[in-house]
Amino acid sequence: MESFSANSAKSYIGKNVNLHLKDGAVIVNVQLTALRKGEGKNNNQIEYAHGNRRATCMPLRNIAWAEMLNLTLIKNPA
């Protein structure tokens, strides 16, 4: 299985996703806001925001994969 890379992270910028971490944890319903490049090899960080909270950064190497959310299913009552 390929790791979550900067190229795949770019496709999720501005979208709401669930972030699945390599340790098995899941960060639910966050919006990816930016990809920050760090100095050196494998120091890229992804910036995400949840609701009205301040943006938080996480190293890209800690993320296993991202699952895109369909917000129309969440917002529209059945």
Q: Over the stretch 68-77, which tens digit does the pLDDT of each residue have?
A: 987 776 665 6
Query: In the prediction, which pLDDT does 63 show?
Result: 93
Q: Over the stretch 24-66, which tens digit does the pLDDT of each residue have?
A: 999 999 999 999 987 777 789 999 998 888 899 999 999 999 9
What is the per-residue burial (b if ≥16 Cβ within 10 Å, else e) of 24-63? Answer: eeebeebbbeebeeeeeeeebbbbbeeeeeeeeeeebeeb
For residues 33 and 47, is the Cβ–Cβ distance under 8 A? yes
Query: In the prediction, which pLDDT does 42 show?
Result: 75
Half-sphere exposure of 27 (CA within 13 A, CB side): 23
Tell me which CATH code domain 6-71 carries. 2.30.30
What's the predicted TM-score (pTM) here? 0.82
Query: In the prediction, which pLDDT does 32 show?
Result: 94
Residues 6+ apart with CB under 8 A from 15: 31, 32, 68, 69
Query: In the prediction, which pLDDT does 34 show?
Result: 94
Calpha distance 38→67 (Å, rounded): 24
